[in-house]
Chains A and B, each alone.
Chain A
Amino acid sequence: MALRGDWMYENNGGTCVAIAGIDYCVVAADTRLSVGYNILTRDHSKICSLADKVVLASSGFQGDIRALHKNLAARHLLYQHQHNKQMSCPAMGQLLSNTLYYKRFFPYYAFNVLGGLDNEGKGCVFTYDAVGSYERVGYSAQGSGSSLIMPVLDNQLKSPSPLLLPARDAVTPLSETEAVDLVKDVFASATERDIYTGDKLEIVVINASGIKREYLELRKD
């Protein structure tokens, strides 16, 4: 049994979303941990504060996610010791990509969204696949409910095409409260139709004054 296939992975479900604003970033994830048709626990955070201005949300296999978060946190500590400053969001973005690709042939089963403020204080969201391919975007959703949420975000946030010249900003002009409301709405909708999303929503907002956390109850069925 241990010799073949996929016993070493499991999908613990859940959805993560991040939206970048002019001077803030919203990162949100539900707190349900599931296996198959079972709910293991209703109160498990998928979000990790890596640095002052960097927050990572991951969904997928919880064992790998925890190891990945610990790995990055340790690397950040080393960076701080070596450079006497916090890592910026784009720097952490590259580090995460490299960490994921390092395990290209035994991947971290983790679907990540990295959110924070870049060096100019603007909202910054990076979205990843399991092996490290990444891109800076204005907003993203990953995880079991991503296919339910992404189209709604596309519709509401009307991000300009990345093919346009001159390049246009992908961050949304919405205010912080409007973005948080949008996040609450999309999660409420995803909870209706995705069995792996629900229980509670954890919303983290990063802006110039720091990191703020907020919770919203979701349907528990």
Chain B
Amino acid sequence: MELQLSMVDGSVCMKDSAKSEISSERTLYPYVTGTSIIGMKYKDGVILASDTAGSYGSTLRYKSVERIKQVGDHTLIGASGEISDFQEIMRYLDELILYDKMWDDGNSLGPKEVHNYLNRIMYNRRNKFNPLWNSLVLGGVKKGQKYLGTVNMIGTHYEDDHLATGFGNHLARPILRSEWREDLTFEEAVKLIEKCLLVLLYRDRSSINKFQIAKITDEGTTIFPPYALKTFWGFSHFQNPSKGAAGTW
């Protein structure tokens, strides 16, 4: 056992090999997590999609977690990462929108403004070594201008025509880079998103077959009820997988 001086707040504590016990007041690691979010612009607005799983490490603990929520009139936010931190973020955002509404001045915060606000929150929490352990996707439309942006727990943020978090970056982005177009109709956009969601379902172990799609246009927001996709497991390799195996392997 040795003493360790924390550079951050000057506290001294005992260090053991498993973990330090500097303070119980900061996020050390995520507990209940959501996996990927996919977002993309289409002709009339922006679509966000996610599954509804909340994993507790390798356990699929919660299967009806809404990871996409509405923020004000013009924005949708989807979160992956620690679910409780997402709930905290929703409290920040709801307060932001409330104060904005209380001005009652005919203006309302658009997705760009909400994204900027979130960027500053995430970056400042990172500076205090107490991050909100999330990767967020923000999509919205205001006065015909479509917006899609993302921010992660250390404050890295950017915008693009299509975005994803977590595994979605590896599995969904390549599909979107190949097949996304500026003028997708809603039906075409949903088909493209479902293609991505299916790949994630097959290949991401933390995803489940229960998805939620949300769209936002100048007319308004719709968060659709959860539904399942049709999967195919009839590949010959999956039938009798241990056929031909020698010994115990």
Contact = CB atoms under 8 A, between A and B. Distances in A.
Interface stretch (B22-30, B136-144, B197-205, B241-249): B22-30
Contacts of A41: 158-160
A9 B160 CA distance: 22
Contacts of A3: 19-20, 22, 28
Contact of A63 (B22, B29, B155): B155
B156 A63 contact: yes
Interface in A137-196: none
Given A63-B154, A66-B155, A105-B7, 5 more contacts: A2-B26, A10-B156, A44-B158, A66-B123, A67-B155
Interface of B: 7, 19-20, 22, 26-29, 119, 123, 126-127, 129-131, 154-160, 169-170
A9 B158 contact: no
B99 to A, nearest CB: 22
A8 B126 contact: yes
Interface string A112-143: 00000000000000000000000000000000
A33 B158 contact: yes
A62 B156 contact: yes
A134 B169 CA distance: 37
A43 B162 CA distance: 12
Nearest to A62: B156
A110 to B, nearest CB: 13
B170 A38 contact: yes
A40 B127 CA distance: 22
Interface of A: 1-3, 7-10, 12, 33, 35, 38, 40-41, 43-44, 61-64, 66-67, 105-106
A1 B155 contact: no
Contacts of A64: 155
Nearest to A9: B154
Contact of A61 (B22, B28, B156, B159): B156
Given A2-B27, A2-B129, A63-B123, A12 B156 contact: yes
23 contacts: A2-B27, A2-B28, A2-B29, A2-B130, A3-B19, A3-B28, A8-B129, A10-B156, A12-B156, A35-B156, A38-B169, A38-B170, A40-B158, A40-B169, A41-B158, A44-B158, A61-B156, A62-B157, A63-B123, A63-B155, A64-B155, A66-B157, A106-B127
A131 to B, nearest CB: 16
B28 to A, nearest CB: 5
B119 to A, nearest CB: 7
A72 B158 CA distance: 20
Q: Which 9 A-B pairs have the closest CB atoms?
A: A63-B155, A1-B29, A41-B160, A41-B158, A2-B28, A62-B156, A63-B156, A44-B158, A3-B20
Contacts of A44: 158
Contacts of A35: 156
A7 B160 contact: no
Which interface residue of A35, A38, A62 has the most chain B CB atoms within 10 A? Answer: A62
B28 A63 contact: no
A160 to B, nearest CB: 40
A163 to B, nearest CB: 40
Given A2-B129, A3-B20, A10 B154 contact: yes
A1 B131 CA distance: 11
A99 B119 CA distance: 20
Contacts of A10: 154, 156
Contacts of B160: 41, 43
B131 A2 contact: yes
A38 B166 CA distance: 11
A7 B154 CA distance: 8
B203 to A, nearest CB: 16
Given A8-B129, A38-B170, A106-B127, A62 B19 contact: no
Given A2-B29, A3-B20, A3-B28, A8 B154 contact: yes
Contacts of A66: 119, 123, 155, 157
A67 B129 contact: no
Contacts of A1: 28-29
Contacts of B155: 62-64, 66-67
B165 to A, nearest CB: 11
A67 B27 CA distance: 22
